[in-house]
């Protein structure tokens, strides 16, 4: 940013649909802030079975641990120094860095938030992904349910198992959110 302040970004990705459910930018990210963002995602998309994250302090806080217990969401931490255990999210974060963060001079935190949201919408709604049979994440989520306009995640869990497409080996993965710091 032009005033020299740094900011952190929380990324929340649905491992099944590859949708970027949240890109949150702020000057710091506490465990309480992570919990607020996860609550917002769950209200919109339903409760995941498991969340996979690194071991950042915001993810190992008492607020996050209590939230996982209260909601019944499993929490899996990758081993320290093993980002490959969260490979899709690491790939996503690299793409975000290469395509946006390294190329943009943010004027302010509100400017960063607006640009991140525009990039997230483009990623979810306009870009086809090879692992999704060249569908956009949004179209893939709609294809899972068979209902246009209905999110893939149901209120109390994942959508029903899709009919497997032999060209897409990833259509039967369990629904998991992945996050990295």
Q: Is the pLDDT of residue 166 over 80?
A: no
In a domain, 178, yes or no: no
In a domain, 13, yes or no: yes
Question: pLDDT tens digits for 55-77?
Answer: 888 888 999 999 999 999 999 99
**Backbone torsions φ then ψ of 75, nearest 5 degrees:** -125, 125
pLDDT, residue 181, reads 55
Q: Work out how many domains the chain is built from and give that number.
A: 1
What span, in angstroms and rounded, lies between the C-alpha atoms of 168 and 16? 12
In a domain, 134, yes or no: yes
Q: How many residues does the chain have?
A: 181
In angstroms, how far apart are the furthest CA atoms of the chain?
A: 51
In a domain, 169, yes or no: no
In a domain, 161, yes or no: no
Question: pLDDT tens digits for 146-160?
Answer: 755 444 444 444 444
Q: Which CATH number do you get for residue 43?
A: 3.30.420.10
Question: pLDDT tens digits for 18-55?
Answer: 999 999 999 989 999 999 999 999 998 888 999 999 88
In sequence order, the β-bridge partners of residue 52 are 76, 178
In a domain, 121, yes or no: yes
Global pTM value: 0.74
What span, in angstroms and rounded, lies between the C-alpha atoms of 2 and 17? 35
In a domain, 149, yes or no: no
In a domain, 168, yes or no: no
pLDDT, residue 94, reads 92
pLDDT, residue 86, reads 83
Question: pLDDT tens digits for 91-117?
Answer: 899 999 999 999 999 999 999 999 999
Q: Domain range for residue 131? A: 8-144
pLDDT, residue 67, reads 95
């Amino acid at each position: 940013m032009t005033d020299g302040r740094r900011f952190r970004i929380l990324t929340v990705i649905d491992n099944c649909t590859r949708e970027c459910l949240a890109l949150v930018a702020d000057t710091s990210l506490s465990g309480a802030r992570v919990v607020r963002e996860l609550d917002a995602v769950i209200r919109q998309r339903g409760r995941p079975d498991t969340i996979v994250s690194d071991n950042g302090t915001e993810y190992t806080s008492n607020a996050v641990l209590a939230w996982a217990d209260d909601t019944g969401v499993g929490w899996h931490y990758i081993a320290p120094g093993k980002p490959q255990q969260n490979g899709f999210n690491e790939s996503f974060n690299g793409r975000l860095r290469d395509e946006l963060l390294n190329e943009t001079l943010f004027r302010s935190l509100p400017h960063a938030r607006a640009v991140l949201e525009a990039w997230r919408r483009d990623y979810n709604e306009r870009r086809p992904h090879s692992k999704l049979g060249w569908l956009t994440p949004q179209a893939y989520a709609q294809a899972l349910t068979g209902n246009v306009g209905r999110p893939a995640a149901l209120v109390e869990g994942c959508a029903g198992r899709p009919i497997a497409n032999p060209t897409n080996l990833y259509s039967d993965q369990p629904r998991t959110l992945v996050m990295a710091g």
